[in-house]
Amino acid sequence: MIGVLVSGEGTNLQALLEAGLPVVAVASNRPDARALARAGEAGVAAASFALEDYAARSARDAAMAAWLAGRGVELVVLAGFMHLLTPAFLERFPERIVNVHPSLLPAFPGAHAVEEQLAAGVAESGATVHLVDEGVDSGPILRQERVPVVAGDTPASLHERIKQVEHRLLPEVVGELCAR
Ligand code: GRF
């Protein structure tokens, strides 16, 4: 059973749901994330774990991990989750946390990958699904696919083209991990 961590729009969460994958819980660091509303609309348990409600990041992560584990989650997908996870969370799901990122990692990690690729003038971008460790988008890569950059691209137009690939790649890889 799958738990998904989100912070924003939730289009990758939507892709996982539409693929029929067993998503049983969705957690966000932001109570106003559109992704939480998507979970609610799909009838999936959803909860917010805002950092300011906890004494330390590790306490927040431990609470979030316990909430997911209590719902039977065995595989965690970061789908636009914008915080680094501490060992309090990582050690609860060893080798069972994946992230999707809008670049050909290890190039352009971090929160501004799309803008930075355009600023660098790259000819192609991509989408990467990788295992999560304590670093910034640094765990072992599971799958990557190239995405062209076209003349006149803005961060929004390039990100949208990348997301179209993410929405296919992420459910594929997660489905394969579920089968293991
Ligand atoms: C995606 O581009 C993902 O690669 C990155 O954040 C974005 C999340 O989009 N980590 P959404 O919330 O799934 O629409």
**pTM for this model (two decimals):** 0.97
DSSP string of 39-87, one letter each residue: HHHTT-EEEE--GGGSSSHHHHHHHHHHHHHHTT--EEEESS--SPPPH
Contacts of 151 (CB under 8 A, 6+ apart): none
Q: Determine the pLDDT at residue 180.
A: 79
Question: 6, 13 in Cβ contact below 8 A?
Answer: yes
C-alpha 35 – ligand 1 centre gap (Å): 10
> How many helices (H) does the chain have, and how many strands (E)?
6, 7
What is the reported pLDDT for 76?
Answer: 98
Ligand 1 geometric centre to CA of 159 (Å): 9
The CB of 9 under 6 Å from ligand 1? The reply is yes
Alpha-carbon distance of 98 to 139, in angstroms, equals 9
Alpha-carbon distance of 11 to 62, in angstroms, equals 26
- Whether 102 is in the pocket of ligand 1, judged by its Cβ within 6 Å, is yes
pLDDT, tens only, 110-160: 999 999 999 999 999 999 999 999 999 999 999 999 999 999 999 999 999
Q: How far apart are CA 79 and CA 163, in angstroms?
A: 11
- Ligand 1 neighbour 10 (Cβ under 6 A): yes
| Helix or strand (DSSP H, E) at 127 | strand 124-131
Both tokens of residue 160? 């949208």
The protein residue with its alpha carbon nearest to ligand 1, atom 8, reads 80
- Distance, in Å, from the CA atom of 66 to the CA atom of 64, rounded to the nearest integer, reads 5
The finding on whether 155 has its CB within 6 A of some atom of ligand 1 is no
User: What is the per-residue pLDDT across 37-84, written as a single tens digit (0 to 9) for each?
Assistant: 999 999 999 999 999 999 999 999 999 999 999 999 999 999 999 999
What residue's CA is closest to ligand 1, atom 4? 101
- The residue behind tokens 């994958």 is 21
